[in-house]
Structure 1
Amino acid sequence: MGDRSDSAADAAIRADDRLMRAVAAGDDEAFGRVITAESPRLTRFVAAVLCDLGEAEEVVQEALVRLWRNADAWEPRARIGTWLHQVAYRLSIDRLRRRRPHVDIDDLDDVLEDDAPSPERQLSRIEDVRLVHEALDRMPDRQRAVIVLAHFQELGQAEASAVMGMSEHAYESLLARARRRLRGLLAGQRDEDGEDWT
């Protein structure tokens, strides 16, 4: 089983390498495929880190421009999406250092998809999303980012640790601490609301 997943990962990296060679040769259509494939997920990630959809779109655009400019130096060591997440994460952290983070729930709700079948369930989902965003806003930047990578970006541990620029062991440790902190913050919010959510 491990060999099969390794070979699938290698095949995906080779496919990305072919795509990046086309981008480096000036193929606008190939770059358009990269944008179409990577932008939505990357925007969700950056919006969750920065808590600002407008800024997230700027960061994603900057990351994509950097990919375009560096296409001729592409080395097939990871997926295109992993590289873009790494660049976008660093750009996001730079922006966070220049300002105090804040959550604008109204902007982020547009990013999340909700397939709720009934109005009651949708209202409950909206309240849950609001509580999670409030709790994420109260977390340190790195803990917030690791939660978003693990639970909202669907990146594997190897990719997510590469995005964060740390070993897989350090990533696991940070994720465990972040999950504990998020659970604690959510439990505190629920207690403050006077509701028993257990």
Structure 2
Amino acid sequence: MSERERDPDADLVARVGRQDPSAVRVLVARKLPRLLALATRMLGDRMEAEDVAQEAFVRIWKQAPHWKEGSARFDTWLHRVAMNLCYDRLRGRREDPVEDWPEHPDPGPGPDAVVEARTRDRRIQAALAALAPRQREALILTYYQELSNIEAAAVMDITVDALESLLARARRALRDRLAANDIREDTS
């Protein structure tokens, strides 16, 4: 890698490897929000997502002294670790996840808007959950985690062309499933 292409996290990871407490704080502040968002979307459970994020940071702590800047960016490696931890948890589930929406007073939009947004979110989450796992992973990495196609393909260990094909199929399947749900709700 040239100096211009250097991994933006390389120096920080090296400091974490030397057990620099301030570097650990900076790394957690930088990476935790996206890890939580990824795990929450994959698992549909904030508590499990927090466990996954914690496990990912433990792995960072253990691997940081051995981290070598190379072909994969640190962020790509971290997303792959988080995805693998999510898949481990999903494989361990014995039944379909049940979404319990917390009851929080909301000073913002009125109850109708909240119910409508929750219904839409549930429909989208259910449609995402019904996708093939690799299609769901491609959508989450590119749209929710905002990784570039190159980064998402690296996380998934596939070519960019394969990622784009997965994304096209995933968008089509998601659109079809949401449209089918609209038709069923209109006839109920």
Same fold (TM over 0.5): yes
Alignment counterpart, residue 13 of structure 2, candidates 3, 10, 20: 20
The SS at the match of 1:186 is: helix
**How far off is 1:40 after superposition?**
1.2
CA separation of 1:118 and 1:95: change in aligned 2, threshold 3 A: closer
Query: What do you get for the CA RMSD once the two structures are aligned?
Result: 2.7
Distance 1:83 1:146 in 2: 16
Change (3 A) 1:137 1:9: farther
TM-score (norm 2): 0.85
How many Å separate the matches in 2 of 1:89 and 1:103? Answer: 21
Q: Tell me the alpha carbon deviations over residues 90-143 of structure 1, each in whole angstroms, 9 at most, x when there is no partner.
A: 111122222245251526x99xxx9xx743544433322121011112222222
Which residue in 2 is equivalent to 1:160? 152
The whole-number CA distance in structure 1 between the counterparts of 2:157 and 2:91 is: 17
Letter in 1 for 2:123: L
Aligned counterparts, 1:50-129, within 5 A: 50-77=43-70, 78-99=72-93, 100-104=95-99, 106=101, 118-119=109-110, 120-129=112-121
Distance in 2 between the 1:49 and 1:164 partners?
14
Report the AA paired with residue 106 of structure 1.
W
What is the match of residue 42 of structure 2? Answer: 49
Pair 169,52 (structure 1): closer, same or farther in 2 beyond 3 Å: same
Across the two proteins, how many residue pairs are aligned to each other? Answer: 182
1:125-167 deviations in Å (ceiling 9; x for gaps): 3322121011112222222221111211111111111111211
The 3-state SS of whatever aligns with 2:101 is helix
Between the two proteins, what is the percent identity of the paired residues? 38
Instruction: Report how far residue 28 of structure 1 moved.
Output: 1.3
4+ residue segments displaced more than 6 Å: none
User: Residues 18-70 of structure 1, C-alpha deviation per residue, up to 9 Å, x if partnerless?
Assistant: 11111111101101111111111111111111222222111111111111111
Which one is further off, 138-147 or 183-192? 138-147
- Mapped to 2, the partners of 1:18 and 1:146 lie a distance apart of 29
Q: Choose 92-101 or 146-155, whichever is displaced more.
A: 92-101
Unaligned runs of 5+ in 2: none
Rounded Cα–Cα distance in structure 1 between residues aligned with 2:27 and 2:79: 13
1:102, 1:137 → 2: CA distance?
A: 10
Partner secondary structure for residue 70 of structure 1 = helix
